[in-house]
Amino acid sequence: MDRPNSRLISSVLPVETLELIFDHLERTELIPVLGSNSLFNNVASRALYRSISETSSVQAVRLVKTLAYNDTYSQHVRSIDLDFANNLLTTNFLHLLHRALQRLESLTTLILDFSQTDNATDVAWIFEGCSFSLTTFTSSMRCDRSLARFLAGQPRITELCLRGFNKEYDFELEPKALPKLEHFRTVLSYPNIIGEVLRGRPVESVSMSLYPGDVSTSLDTLLLPSTAIKRLTVMSFESDPPVTLLPLIADRLPHLEAFHLVDTLLDLGSSLAQFKSLKYITFMAPARQFDATSSNEKIIAEAWSKACPTLQTIILPKGLVWFQKDKNWACLRDSEE
C-alpha cells in the first residue's frame, strides 16, 4: 500500500482532528512534527505553545526570546508557567520578558516564580502595556502598589495565588478589583495582605498559612468575603494545636463544607462537632508522627463522624479515602478487596 502524502492527509483529516491528535503528543514528540509540512507546522504550533511549563532556566530564557520576537507562536499561548526561583534576573532579561508578555494577547493563566532577591525589587512593571485577560494568576513577586494596580486591571481573575514576601510593602486593592475572585491561596502572605484580597469579594475557597502570634488575626480575615467560605486549607506552622485551632475556625466558619489541615498533631477530638455543614476533611501529618493501621483509621473516621454527622469523606495521613457505605465507614482499599 502506498504511503499517503501530506496532501491526502490534509484532505482526509480536518484541522480540528489533527489538533486533537497533536494534543496527545508530548513536547518532544511535537517538535519533529513542526518540520513535516506547513499544515502540520501550523497545527502542531498551536498544541505546542497553548500550554507552556518551563522549569529549566535555560529553556525558559530561550522560550521567552522566541515569544518576544515571534507573533505567530505567541498568539497560541493560553497558559504559561515560568520558574526563575533559582536565578537572579538581569534588567535586560526583564525587558525581554516584558516584550514577550505584551505579545501574549490570548493568555488566561500566568504563573511566575522569582528568586527572593528579585522579590525584593519592583518587577510588576513587566505587565505594563499587556492586553491579556487572566482567569488564573500565581506569582512570588512582592505584594506592593504596582502589583495591586496590575490586579485591578484583571477583572476576570477567579483564582489567585500570592506567595511573595510582603510584610514591609504597601498593598492596597481598589474596592472594585477582582470582582470574580473565587479561590485564593497564599503561603507567606501576612494577615493584612490576606484581608486586602478577601475583603468584599466572592471568595469561596481559601488556602492559608498560620504562624504563631498571627492565628486569630489571620482567621478573622475569613469573615471578610462577600460570600461564605466553603472550602478551607490550613497549613499550621507551630501555631495552635488542632484541639485549639478547630474551635477558632468553627466559630468563624460554622457552615464550612471542606476542610484540609496540614499539621503535626492528630487529636482533633470533639472539636469537629461545632461544624454544621462539614462534608469533607483531609488531615495531613509527617509519617513519623502517624503510625496507624487501617483499623485504627476506621476508628478515627467513626469517631469523627459521630462528632460531626455531616461528614461524607475523610482522608487521613495514610492516604486512604474513607466514606460511608451501608451506614458503615469503609475505605477504597476495603472496597477493592
pLDDT in tens, 117-137: 666 578 899 999 999 999 999
Indicate whether 298 belongs to any domain.
Answer: yes
Indicate whether 244 belongs to any domain.
Answer: no
- What values do phi and psi take at 207, rounded to 5? -125, 120
The type of residue at 243 is: V
What distance in Å separates the CA atoms of residue 271 and residue 242, rounded to the nearest whole number? 8
Total count of residues recorded for the chain: 337
Q: What percent of the chain has pLDDT over 70?
A: 80
Degrees to nearest 5, angle at CA 23 with 20 and 28: 145
Burial call 114-148: b when 16+ CB within 10 Å, e when fewer: beeebbeeebbebbeebebebbbbbbbbbbbebbb
Residue 225: helix, strand or coil by DSSP? coil
> For residue 18, what are the domain limits?
8-49
Residue 277: helix, strand or coil by DSSP? coil
Q: Residue 35 above 80 pLDDT?
A: no
Residue 322: helix, strand or coil by DSSP? strand
What DSSP state is assigned to residue 323? E
What DSSP state is assigned to residue 308? -
Indicate whether 216 belongs to any domain.
Answer: no
Which of the listed residues 49, 64, 82 is the one where a domain comes to its end?
A: 49
Indicate whether 91 belongs to any domain.
Answer: no
Mean pLDDT on 318-337: 74
Instruction: Compute the mean pLDDT over every residue in the chain, rounded to the nearest whole number.
Output: 82
Indicate whether 209 belongs to any domain.
Answer: no
Q: Residue 263 above 70 pLDDT?
A: no
Total H helices, total E strands in the chain? 14, 13
User: Helices 57-69 and 91-103: crossing angle, nearest 10°?
Assistant: 50
Q: Which cell goes with 256? A: 464550612
- Burial group, residue 103, by CB count within 10 angstroms (0-12, 13-18, 19+): buried
Indicate whether 281 belongs to any domain.
Answer: yes
Mean pLDDT on 278-300: 70
pLDDT value at residue 286: 56
Do the Cβ atoms of 96 and 65 come closer than 8 Å?
A: yes
- Burial group, residue 91, by CB count within 10 angstroms (0-12, 13-18, 19+): exposed
pLDDT value at residue 12: 65
What distance in Å separates the CA atoms of residue 150 and residue 134, rounded to the nearest whole number? 11
Contacts of 2 (CB under 8 A, 6+ apart): none
Mean pLDDT on 42-47: 71
If one counts the domains in the chain, the total is 2
Task: Identify any residues that bridge with 262 across adjacent strands, giving them in sequence order.
Answer: 235, 284
**Residue 100 CB neighbour total at 10 angstroms:** 23
Q: Residue 220 above 90 pLDDT?
A: yes
- Across 65-74, 161-170, 175-184, the highest mean pLDDT is recorded for 175-184
Q: Smallest Cα–Cα separation from 66: which of 84, 90, 48, 83?
A: 48
- What values do phi and psi take at 49, rounded to 5? -100, -5
Mean pLDDT on 107-126: 83
Do the Cβ atoms of 218 and 243 come closer than 8 Å?
A: no
Report which of residues 11 and 14 the model is more confident about. 14
Indicate whether 96 belongs to any domain.
Answer: no
